[in-house]
Amino acid sequence: MSIKTVALKEKLGNLDLHPAPVIVEESTPYKKVIDRMRVDAIGCAVVCRDGKVTGIFTERDVLNKTAVENIPARTPIGKLMTSPPLTTTLNASLGQAIELMRSRGVRNLPLVDSENRPVGLLTVGRMIRYLADHFPAEVVNLPPVPDQVSSEAEGA
């Protein structure tokens, strides 16, 4: 079985999804969410109401929604989040998640249980680490992209 076949069929529940996502309530102040994302070194926060996922706040939201205007630090994150967020479950395969993320142009995919409670977060970085950790020889030995031309000279 090839790397592609094995990896794409892997259930998300079998992947190492640590560290845990930043999970906040809609009423959490914007500044507190930004501070948590910075401390946890993660690019998004999963936003909930009464423990159920209602939105996501990402680095992209910081740039698109807050860089243009001065947002008061106490603004509830529920006013700035992207809603509804794209989500999937731990039963989805890695291949399904990759296609979902690719087709919708997202880099962070909250994982939810049957009651829409957050149980994890799949990121592009975590997918790459999974592939590199589980298929190191195949990843290292991938052929170069045909006709790829660098816009800059290699080296220092």
The overall longest dimension of the chain from CA atoms, in Å, is: 54
DSSP E strand stretches across 70-152: 108-112, 118-123
Backbone angles phi, psi at 93, to 5 degrees: -85, 160
Instruction: Please state the domain extents for the chain.
Output: 3-138
Residue 7: predicted pLDDT: 75
Which pLDDT belongs to residue 94?
92
Pairing status of strand 118-123 against strand 108-112: antiparallel
Query: Does residue 87 contact residue 75 with C-beta atoms inside 8 Å?
Result: no
Q: What is the pLDDT along the chain (156 residues), one digit of tens a residue?
A: 555 567 788 899 988 887 789 999 999 999 999 999 999 999 999 999 999 999 999 999 988 887 777 889 999 999 999 999 999 999 999 999 999 999 999 999 999 999 999 999 999 988 888 877 777 666 556 666 666 566 666 555
pLDDT for the residue numbered 146: 60
- pLDDT of the residue at 134: 74
Asked whether the beta carbons of 108 and 44 are under 8 A apart, the reply is yes
* Signed CA dihedral, 7, 103, 111, 38: sign only: positive
Predicted TM-score (pTM) of the model is 0.82
Is the domain spanning 3-138 CATH 3.10.580.10? The answer is yes
